[in-house]
Amino acid sequence: MQIHALDKTNVIQDVQLSDHLNHAVTQGRRSDFVLLLTLLSANVTVTTPTNPPYPKISTDSNLRESLSLPAPERLSATEIDYHLSVKQTNMFYHSGIISVRLNHCISPSALHFPVFETHNLDENVYHNLSEHQRSKIANENNKIAELNPIDLYNQLIISKRFQEFYYQA
């Protein structure tokens, strides 16, 4: 019984790969050329190529968790931040600046407090408007909200059908 091992026989010869090598060089396929050259070497039967594992993708939350860092400060305030700032103000009047700084380190407040419900107007402009003008702006914004783009197609079809009935009558 005769046993053949890959390391004792040269399965691949340069005569077998000559055309493929030439085409790989002329067409600029570097990866194919390198693969064919490694098939010709004797070391290919001894070692197996291994690819390095892909690096683990580290996100901001994973890094914060592994380094035990607190949550980042929010850039823009929400309604909770307004309540938090009121709480910090009361702490300042009752306990002093040290307790406010400690509370800020434990639960940081936002860096920017935008004005809410001014209907995209500057705060000074909105507060200089009369009550009648403010209510008028609020009603106009409600009418704009009624024009829902999801229902726009249905509204157009309904209006088209009414126009067709109007012209037939």
Concatenated DSSP letters for 55-117? Answer: PPPPPHHHHHHHTTPPPPPPSB--HHHHHHHHHHHHHHHHH-HHHHHHHHHHSPPPSB-PPPS
Q: Is residue 83 part of a domain?
A: no
End-of-domain residue from the set 34, 51, 68 = 51
What's the gap between Cα 72 and its chain centre? 17
Domains of the chain: total: 2
pLDDT tens track for 99-127: 888 888 888 888 888 777 787 788 888 88
Cα distance between residue 127 and residue 124, in whole Å? 5
Is 32 domain-assigned?
Answer: yes
What is the per-residue pLDDT for 6?
A: 46
Task: Say how far apart CA 65 and CA 85 lie, in whole Å.
Answer: 27
Distance of CA 165 to the CA centre of its chain: 50
Tell me, yes or no, whether 67 lies in a domain. Answer: no
| Residue 143, in any domain of the structure | yes
Q: Which one-letter amino acid corresponds to residue 15?
A: V
* pLDDT single digits (tens) 50-89: 666 676 778 888 888 888 887 787 888 888 888 888 888 8
Range of the domain at 138: 123-168
Q: What is the DSSP letter of 13?
A: -
Q: Quickly tell me which residue has 């408007």 as its tokens.
A: 129
66 within a domain of the structure (yes/no): no
Mean pLDDT of the chain: 78
- Residue 76: strand pairing partners: 112
- What is the spatial distance between Cα 75 and Cα 72, in angstroms, rounded to a whole number? 9
pLDDT at 94 (0 to 100):
92
HSE-CB of 160 using CA atoms within 13 angstroms: 6
Enumerate residues 6+ apart whose C-beta is below 8 A from 73. Answer: 108, 109, 110, 111
Beta-carbon neighbour count of residue 93 at 10 Å? 8
Contact 1, 40 (CB under 8 A): no
Q: What is the pLDDT of residue 61?
A: 86
Domain assignment present for residue 141? The answer is: yes
Selected residue with higher pLDDT from 42 and 38: 38
Q: Does some domain include residue 56?
A: no
Let me know if residue 27 belongs to a domain. yes
